Structure formats: structure tokens, C-alpha cells
Amino acid sequence: MSTSKKIGFAITGLLMLAGLVAWGIQVKEGLVLTNMRNSYTWGLYVAGLAFFVGNAAGGLVLSSMIYLFGVTSLKPFAKIGALCAFANVTAAMLAILPDIGQPIRLYNLVLHPQWRSPLVWDIIVLNLYAALSLLYLYLLMLPDFQGPLKKIALKVDHPKEFSEKWAKRLAPYSLAAAVGIHVITAWIFATQGARDWWNSAVLAPDFVAAALASGTAIVLLVCLLTYGLKDEYTQAYRTMAIFIAVALFTHIFFMYNDFFIHYWYGATEALDVLSITFKKYALAHAFEVVAPLAGVILLLSSNVRKSAGAMMTSCFLIIAGIFVHRFLLMPGAFDRVPLTIAPLGMQNTEFSVPIASGQYEPLMNTFVTEWHYFPSGIEIAIFLGVLAYVGFLIILAIDRLPIVKIEKAQT
């Protein structure tokens, strides 16, 4: 094992452990250790769900593109794609787990699922997607299983053809599943009539667009890390860059389209919500737009594509931008109490009705109209743990499984 891998294992391992410990403490003490409260019920964990779900997209979309649209240049990356998809979709589920107040009762999801709940659909598609990406990965690896791994290989006559055939057959489903997890995850939010920030038809397509950008950026990042810059991949990298760019532009278009329509109509609720993003979170918003834009613009330049480091930085900018975008799902929804009324005879005033925060402090207001949320140490630790899990899994898989072909060939 290379030292870089060792360092990778050590760091991600330690972070995972820290996250696990943090979760343990949180399970014991309760979600009081987070900075969420009654008026701000979702935070980093749910943002993490949306983020990882988004990242999961890239993988299978990429892989399916190879087989559906014949973008063969991407073929060497198909396995990495599937792996990233699997790692991220499972991370998404891990990210949401600590958000559950009574994790032991999760069995109720199986015993008493409520079919009208988008969360139930989401859990189903996420699991399906996880299974599908694992299956895809397996299929793609099938021809390359060697040594002890042979044991888990399906006994078929022509593994290569088998793999190709089934990869092709599964491709449309993968694409549908990838789009599906986004649409349904988006529906968790978009169906909320209570939250004007989310309650928009464009949220689902926008989720898909943003996901394609960040998901592909992740795959690109992992490819760069594993394969580095090689002439043979120039075309593939270029394709990915263009793909990311289109996805990102679409995402930004969707986002501003939505803003514009709300701004133009000028309903107070909508303006309030916009002002949270544009005033209170102005810097974060600037970052969510500028960073990925800068990232794709850089990626689109062939000069930049000559440096692995520059490309990785660009990917990182895109991913970070989308992460901030996901995080910004929350303030717009929770910074403002949804129940507002115009006081009698003061029709032009909007008044937010305070909510009991759920926290009693002898010198603090219990009833609040605003709750300034920033994740607590525990939340950050847990989130980093999940992030580390993604890294750990990818390194582990690459280390143990026949994922990176060339290296195999070289050894």
C-alpha cells in the first residue's frame, strides 16, 4: 500500500471514528447537542443527505452514458463512477441517520411505512440506488476478479461480454434511478407548502442539475487522484468538464429563474426568504455561485486541464460550492417562521409568530422568531465522519478491488 493511501486510511479512519464517537454521545444525550431547535428543525445532517445524494448521481449517470449514448471515452471511469455512486448514496443514508431522534425505532419504517411520505419513497429509491450501483460495480468488475476475489465472481462463460451486456441493459435503469433519487429527495423539500423556500416545481430539476455537476466533479476528482493526467484521458476529462459545465449552468439558470419569478411577483413571504439568502447569507450565496462557476470556467480551459492540481482545485470548488448550496437549503426555510400574519388594521405588516424553541435557559427567550443556526461541534464531527467514510470506502475499494485497471496492468 502506498504511503498516500496509508495516510488516507489513517485520516479517514480517525475521522470516522471521531464521527462515530460523536454520534454515540449524541445518541446518549439527545439531539440537544446539535444547534437545531424547534424553529430550526433540520440542519447539517439533512443538508448532508441532499449533498451526498447529489454526489451519488454523477457515478451512475456517467456509467450509463457510456452504454446508453456510447460516450466510450468515459469507459475507463465507469467503475469509479459506480463506486462513487455507491459510496455517496450510502453516505447519504449515513448522514441522515444521526438526524433520527429514535434510531432504534427505524424498524418502524419497515413495519409501518406510510406510503404518502416522500421520505419513505426516498428511502426506497436510495436503497435501490445503492443496490443498483453496487450491482453495476460488480458487473463492471466481473471480468477482472482475480485471486481470492474469484470466489465472489459469478460463474459465467464470457465474463467480459456478460458484463458489457448487462451493463448496457441496466444503463437506462441506472439513469432513471439517478434522476429518481434526486427528484424524490427534492420532493421531500418541494412538497412542503409550509416552506416557501422549497415549495417550488423547479426544485426537482434543479436538484438533478446540481447533482450532475457535483456528482461528476466527484468522479472526476477521484479519477484524477487515481489515474492522474494522461493523454489517453484528455478526451474523457474534457467530456466530463463540459458535462459539469452544462449541468452547473443549468443549475444556476434554474435557481435564478426561480428567484426571478418570486422576486418579480414580490409576495412578502418570497421576498423575505430571498432576503435571507441575499442579505443574511450573502457571502455564502456568493460562494455557492462564484466558486462552482469559477470551477467550471477553469475546467473548460484546456490550459487548466493540463494541470492535475488545477483540475482538482476546480473540482473541489465545484463540490464545495454545491455543498454550500445544499447547506443553504436550510436558512431560507427555517430562518423565518412560516406562520406570519398581518396584524389587524396593519395589512402591510408581516408578523412572524414566535415558536417555543424547545430549550429553557433561565436568562434567554424561550419563544423565538429567529434561530441563528450554525452546526455544533458534534454535528460537524458526525458530518466529517460521514465524509471520511466516503473517502475511506473509495480508497479501500480502489485498494482491494479491481477498479483501477491500468494500475493492475502495470503491476
Partner 1 sequence: MQLKRRSFLKMGLAAGAATALDMKFLRYVGDAAAARTSEGETITRSTCSPNCTGACGFNVHVSDGRISTLIQSADYPETGYNPRGCLRGLSMMNLVYGKDRVKYPLIRTGERGSGKFKKATWEEALDYTAQKLKGIMEKYGPEAVALTVQVPGTGYVHKGALVRLAGLAHWSIHHGYDQNGDLPMFWPMTFGVQTEELESLEWPNARYTMVFGSNIIQTRLPDAHNLIKAKNNGKLVVFDPDYCSTAAKADEWVPLKPDSDAAMGLGMAKVIIDRRLYDEKFLQDFTDFPILVRKDNGKRLPAKDVKALANETAGWKIPPYRSLFVIRTPKGLAILNPERLDATEAILEGEFEVELTDGSRVEVRTVFSELKEMLAEYSLEKVAALTDVPAGQIERIAVEAATNTPLHAVYGASNYQWYNGDLKGRAISLLPVLTGSIGKSGGGISTYAGQYRIRFNLKEWWSAPGGKLNWVPYLYFLQGKGKRYPQKGIKAMIGGWGNPFDQHNMANRLKDRTASGDIEFVVTFDFSMTTSCQWSDVVFPATSWYENYELTATILHPYVQLQQPAIKPMFESRTAFWVARQLAKRLNPEFEKYYYPDLDENEASQEIIEVLLKTGGFETKGITLDMLKKGPVRLHSTAPDDRQIPFWEQVQNRVPFPPRSYPAPLKATARFLRSGRIEFYKDEDLFLETGEQLPVQKETFSETEYKVDPGARKKYTLRFVTKNSLYRVHSTHSNNVWLNELQGNKPKVFLNKNDAAERNIKTGDFVEIYNNRGKTRAYAVIDPGCRRGTTIFEQGWWARYLKNESYNSLTMPWIKPLHEIYFVPGIWSPTTVWNECLVDVRRVTA
Partner 2 sequence: MRRGMVIDLEKCIGCRSCVVACKQHNAQPAGNWWNRVVTPGSERHLTPPEKGKEYFLPIHCQHCNNAPCEKVCPVNATYTEEDGTVLVDFERCIGCRYCMAACPYGVRQFNWEDPKKATARYGYQDGYTYGHPQEFRLKGRLVYMPSRFKGVVEKCNFCVHYADKGLDPACVRGCPGNARHVGDLDDPDSRVSKMIRDKNGFTLLPEKGTKPNVYYLPPKRKEV
Helix ranges (H only) for 228-348 are 231-265, 268-275, 282-300, 308-327, 329-334
DSSP characters for 140-173? Answer: HHGGG--GGGGGGS---S-HHHHHHHHHHHHHHH
C-beta neighbour count of 70 within 10 angstroms: 10
| Sign of the dihedral defined by the CA atoms of residues 216, 222, 223, 224, in that order | positive
Candidate list 41, 73, 250, 313; residue touching partner 2; CB under 8 A: 41
Asked if residues 359 and 224 have their Cβ atoms less than 8 Å apart, the reply is no
CB of 353 vs partner 2, minimal distance in Å: 5
350-389 binders of partner 2 (CB under 8 A): 351, 353-360, 362, 366-367, 369
Hey, what amino acid is at 329? L
By C-beta, is 69 or 351 nearer to partner 1?
Answer: 351
DSSP 8-state code for residue 363: T
Q: Which three cell numbers stand for residue 234?
A: 484528455
Residue 177 interacting with partner 2 (CB under 8 A): no
Candidate list 11, 109, 271, 308; residue touching partner 2; CB under 8 A: 109
Per-residue x/- track, 2-31, partner 2 (CB under 8 A): ---------------------------xxx
Candidate list 59, 92, 99, 181; residue touching partner 2; CB under 8 A: 99
Q: Which residues share a beta bridge with 341?
A: 351
Residue 100 interacting with partner 2 (CB under 8 A): yes
Helix ranges (H only) for 335-411 are 377-400, 405-410
Residue 261 interacting with partner 2 (CB under 8 A): no
For the chain, what is the largest distance between any 2 Cα atoms, rounded to a whole number of angstroms?
81
Residue 151 interacting with partner 2 (CB under 8 A): no
Candidate list 83, 137, 188, 397; residue touching partner 2; CB under 8 A: 188
154 binds, options partner 2, partner 1, none, Cβ within 5 to 8 A by partner type: none
CB of 363 vs partner 1, minimal distance in Å: 6
By C-beta, is 43 or 58 nearer to partner 2?
Answer: 43
CB of 345 vs partner 1, minimal distance in Å: 12
Q: Which residues bind partner 1 (CB under 8 A)?
A: 360-367
Number of alpha helices (DSSP H) and beta strands (DSSP E) in the chain? 14, 4
Asked if residues 136 and 63 have their Cβ atoms less than 8 Å apart, the reply is yes
Binding site for partner 2 (CB under 8 A): 29-32, 34, 36-39, 41-42, 99-103, 105-106, 108-109, 111-114, 116-120, 123, 188, 191-195, 333-334, 337-339, 341-346, 349, 351, 353-360, 362, 366-367, 369
